[in-house]
Amino acid sequence: MPVTDGAMQPYALTLNKFIEHAAKWHPEAEVVTGRGGDAVDRTGYAALKARALRVSAALAGRGVLFGDRVATLAWNTQAHVEAWYAIMGMGAVCHTLNPRLTAAQLAAMLNQSEARVLIVSADLAPLARKIVAEAASVSQILVIDGPAPDWRGEDPDLSVSTLEDAIAGADGHVVWGDFDETSPSGLCFTSGTTGSPKGVTYTHRSGYLHTLRQLQADVMGLTAADAVLTVVPMFHANAWGLPFAAPAAGAKLVLPGRLADGASLARLIESEGVTMAVGVPTVWLGLLEHVEATGGDLPTLKRIMVGGAALAPALMDRIERRLGVAVQTSWGMTELSPLGVSAAPGDSDRKAWMSGRPAVGVDLLLTDAEGEPLADQRAAEGHLRVRGSAAIERYFGHDEAATDEEGWFDTGDLARIDTRGNLIITGRAKDLIKSGGEWINPSEIEAIVGALPQVSQAAVIGRSDEKWGERPILLVELAENQSVTDDELLEPLRGRVASWWLPDAVMRLDNMPLGPTGKIDKLRLRSDYRDASSAEGQFSGKRAAS
């Protein structure tokens, strides 16, 4: 007779499982939202789950069905977390919108997603009003964290109320997770700092597996004893997955609202006993400068994880020395949910330019410009490709795959992998400067100049040149109360890069333009400075010798 195999339970990997786990096993673990000054909102995971279920019922009562996109335009708050779990738990798709973009850009995204309901932070209502004027699909606005605006008579087809009122009037109960784990859960558009934004659709399965990868000891390694300050915004790349990872571990989740200045973050870290904080480098520079100016200490803080932009070695040293923390570097992208690689928390050999190693579930490949794998993956710079359980296969609204025949996604990054497996991002393929038929990599110049203690941020772009096609120029934002000559900026490059790589000009900017996610906005820099005529009058210092 044939042998009948055993079987395992069909436990669907849906994201509602995380808050259900936290509500059952860590019911009193807190979610804290900063409101400015000493004011905070405070709740537990059990109460948050109960609230999120009521939000699901309110959305269902307003016609939201499985697979519908529901948009959010909101800061990092308890109400936003409740909306996430409510939308995703019922099988709808949470389309997060970045309030740092223009109304026209956000309306274009909504017109693609066709979301009918928009959940908005009260202080973002004026922006929402501009968006819905251009987004035909939106018929309902639900306001969180404040009162609803009075728009009576402006648009009779637009329903506006608070989410609290919608909850109060909701009937019935919505069952969470009653669908396939491969169902879409979220939609986030890329930052668009090097091209037009594209929509990335996350699934419940991809988010679940991404969370398990985050929780590994050599990645975030969260435990129930941790308090995690999530400064990375919820409107960008799943807030790096922390609204899922914190409840999965039973960790305290600390949300800063819209306040990410150094004083506000220091206050939250101290009052809530934060042990780990996560965000882009510019955030931690603000915190560091506040602590340096006030002479305070943050004794509970043990780790800071940075990503989203390159970290200057001088800044990493300052943070670790003054705050007494370990800085964990990482690399990822919206298309990876977003975590790709991370330095291990206890790795004493970590450097600012090392992003770290991939955890299980992510694989890396270096290729030449034509996509052919390099013969030796540990010996040369190449074009970085990735694949994995939480990596994109195709963009929202696209029929064609974003991957090659073997499932590799071209990140657009140039990279090396050292002998220990550490990924080192060396630049963006789109940022390369072609001068006299040869390539110049701006990131190598930026890394050297950015390591100078007098420099806060550095960027190199190509400027049009009649003879060479393009020539590099260096733009710097100096650290506070610092001064430096052009020769002092360029001298560290000599002997470390080819002589013809030396920038032809140095420009000092009062403020380096940043994109919506804290990265240097090279599209803006190219627009403002790529032509010699547009740079006239902006030039500061002598022309550098080539």
Dihedrals phi, psi of 390, to nearest 5 degrees: -125, 30
With beta carbons less than 8 A apart as the criterion, state whether 115 and 70 touch: yes
Sequence-distant (≥ 6) Cβ neighbours of residue 381 within 8 angstroms:
366, 414, 415, 416, 426
Measured on CA atoms in the order 8, 11, 17, 20, is the torsion positive or negative? Answer: negative
Q: Name the active-site residue from 82, 335, 444, 446.
A: 335
| 162 noted as active-site residue | no
Catalytic residue among 102, 154, 320, 434: 434
Residues 6+ positions from 132 with CB-CB distance below 8 Å: 107, 118, 138, 141, 155, 158
End-to-end CA distance of the chain: 83
Return the structure tokens found at 461.
């772009």
351 assigned to active site: no
Whether 485 sits among the annotated catalytic residues: the reply is no
Q: Cβ(31)–Cβ(253) under 8 Å?
A: yes
439 flagged as catalytic: yes
Contact 167, 55 (CB under 8 A): yes
CA 422 to chain centre: 21
**Whole-number Å distance between alpha carbons of 515 and 236:** 12
Annotated catalytic residue, options 102, 439, 488, 500: 439
531 Cβ contact list (under 8 Å, min separation 6): 463, 464
Q: What is the 3-state secondary structure (H, E, C) of 127-163?
A: HHHHHHCCCCCCCEEEEECCCCCCCCCCCCCCEEEEH
Of 72, 96, 190, 203, catalytic: 190
d(CA 240, CA 328): 14
Return the active site residues.
190, 335, 434, 439
